[in-house]
Structure 1
Amino acid sequence: MIKSKVKYFVTLVLTVILAFSTIFSAYASTWTLTGDTYAHDPTYIQEGSGTRWVFSTGQGIQVHWSTNGTTWNLGTQVFASEPSWWATQVPNHTKLDVWAPDIYYYNGKYYLYYSISSFGSQTSAIGLVTCTSITTGDWVDQGMVLSSSSSNTYNAIDPNLFADKSGNLYMSFGSWWAGIYVTAISKSTMKPTGNAYRIATKDGGIEGSSVVYNSSTGYYYLFVSIGVCCQGVNSTYQVAVGRSTSVTGPYYDKNGVDMKSGGGTVLDSGNSSWKGPGGQDISGTNILIRHAYSVAESGAAHMLISDLQWDSSGWPYYS
């Protein structure tokens, strides 16, 4: 009888510990970052098994690096001077001000897409710069990828390169106006080939798209930033998501609303410490990086990184 009671007590304790461990793991998914974490529209990648890198909006494309993923240092900007085609294609952009880069590794090379524009204008362009080693920094300008003007329905900013379930490459891009688009990317030129398809729109602002295919669920997920950015603690940015069985959509939210009709399930609307989360990027299917505006620092933009998790219904979440 005594042995039976002891066994029951040990089993009960282990069950409670396991339960608390499960609860903790489900809610302790945001990384604790230190060092220089000032960033806007960040994109994340790990170079091999070594250094982690974050590229973000800023002069010549801002760069941060970390050896462990939690302590961050400011690196050397990608562009020291403007490529000549910038002034021709987007004459009113602000010198070395570069927006919303996206980093992608393919076939032994790093591809860094970025956008230049004048705020509130459709006169924009997406460019590409490549290197074989981020640590070495042997960046080579590959010129313009896509452009837009007032005659286009889309705005050529906020690029995001991704692969479909068969390994074909695509790029999502766009903002406001007619919303988010997706186009196929040539594996030889790493630039668009074929038509662009609209996959999302929303009144009040939509941009910063990221698309990822999750082989475990069989869905493509479209993450977007909705609302208004760049207003410090008054920013209304939120991270939202929808999913589709096809790379070109339609993408539906949890309520079955098509994202081309304004749908999108909100994942993150901020909290009392961090306002206006958005500009997100997905690394693999398990890491989500975004920026948010610090209340304690009167609206300074910092990068935040979380473990992206998936519920039993195949929807992403993080905390």
Structure 2
Amino acid sequence: MLLTFTAAEPAAAYPDPGYVTGDITVHDPSMVRTTSGQYVLYSTHNGLEARTSSDRITFTRAGSAFTALPSWWSGYSSGKDPWAPDVSYHNGKYLMYYAVSSFGSNKSAIGLAVSSTGLPGSWSDSGVVYSSATSDDYNAIDPSLLVDSSGRWWLSFGSYWTGVYSIRIDPATGKQLASDTARHHLATRPDSPYAVEAPYILQHGSSYYLFASYDACCAGTSSTYKIKVGRASSPTGPFYDRNGTDMLNGGGTLVLATHGRYIGPGGQSVLHDTDGDLLVYHYYDGNDSGTPKLGVNLLGWDSAGWPYAY
């Protein structure tokens, strides 16, 4: 059976992750439910690591998205080490956007791969979608795709420098739309280096919700990552938090932060499943030397239209 939760109004304390088992050592997870009902989860490193599950509880390591690593990756990562996949299903095929970079560099690129099944080893690389150079004040990492209520495609990304951005995508190619090359600034923070990362935009009702990771990741039990959200009437913003502060002015309402053994939750994505919207993320396990592990919670919606994890 599927992992299930009991809905409730938001609690005073952050919820623990739902129960998962098996191979759950992951970073920057993104999960899709295939047309056959199987769950496939992809994550950072090793050609984009793959795990499968039949019940959304027990996960088994199942190779990687890529068996042969594209040669162009070496221009952005000497170890050809891809990050932060975003996997979804549109127009009869599976799409995976991902980042290729090296830690501390904004010479970065977002790539696209396509598959007819979504399964590991089945992906065909389509090359670079968008890139940033060392001379830029932003960083093309952590991509995620949104198809809005009008059928327009948007790719959000960012960024250890100056926060989160989005661009229009051509549904026919999965690449940037040639007739609209604007880059929209969605979120930043007032303090250097202005880092807001791992954006994911979800439409719920008539509103758009930008989830993003703030503060420091990738430091085990010293990580300070946390997940915040803002809401907008347009996929390009402006996104405001519960108190009315623009995410371009440091706003953001907390969804998850460190609590107990669950340190630095972030790198999140959302899967719309049969029982609701599922928040998928990593955290660092304080009871296991800070090992990054899979976290899953369903999202509830309060009476004012704000999401909360439970």
The verdict on a shared fold, with TM-score over 0.5 as the criterion, is yes
Which residue of the partner structure matches residue 115 of structure 1? 99
Runs of at least 5 residues in structure 2 that lack an aligned partner in the other structure = none
Runs of at least 5 residues in structure 1 that lack an aligned partner in the other structure = 1-22
Kept in 1, the 8 Å contact 2:73–2:80? The answer is: no
1:305 equivalent in alignment to 2:305: no
Structure 1 segments, 4+ long, off by >6 Å, are none
Structure 2 residue identity aligned to 1:234: S
Q: Note the 1:126-275 alignment, pairs <5 A.
A: 126-135=110-119, 137-193=121-177, 194-202=181-189, 203=191, 205-215=195-205, 218-275=206-263
Which residue of the partner structure matches residue 85 of structure 1? 72
Which residue of the partner structure matches residue 26 of structure 2? 39
Query: C-alpha separation between the residues in 2 aligned to 1:145 and 1:24?
Result: 40
Secondary structure at the counterpart of residue 64 of structure 2? coil
| Most deviating of 60-69 and 203-212 | 203-212
Query: C-alpha separation between the residues in 2 aligned to 1:135 and 1:249?
Result: 34
1:244-281 Cα deviation digits (max 9, x unpaired): 00111100001111001111111111211110000000
Larger helix fraction of residues:
1
TM-score, length basis structure 2: 0.90
Structure 1 residue 122: deviation in Å? 0.8
Query: C-alpha separation between the residues in 1 aligned to 2:142 and 2:7?
Result: 32
Secondary structure at the counterpart of residue 172 of structure 1? strand
Kept in 1, the 8 Å contact 2:216–2:225? The answer is: yes
Structure 2 residue identity aligned to 1:25: A
Secondary structure at the counterpart of residue 75 of structure 1? strand
Which of 90, 102, 118 is 1:106 aligned to? 90
Which residue of the partner structure matches residue 284 of structure 2? 293
Q: Note the 1:14-93 alignment, pairs <5 A.
A: 25-26=7-8, 30-88=17-75, 90=76, 93=77
Query: C-alpha separation between the residues in 1 aligned to 2:239 and 2:72?
Result: 35
1:142-190 Cα deviation digits (max 9, x unpaired): 0111110022222110000011111211110011212100111101111
Structure 1 residue identity aligned to 2:225: Y
Query: C-alpha separation between the residues in 1 aligned to 2:84 and 2:6?
Result: 33
Secondary structure at the counterpart of residue 86 of structure 1? helix
Structure 2 residue identity aligned to 1:259: M
Query: C-alpha separation between the residues in 1 aligned to 2:187 and 2:262?
Result: 26
TM-score, length basis structure 1: 0.88
Give the root-mean-square deviation of aligned CA atoms: 1.7
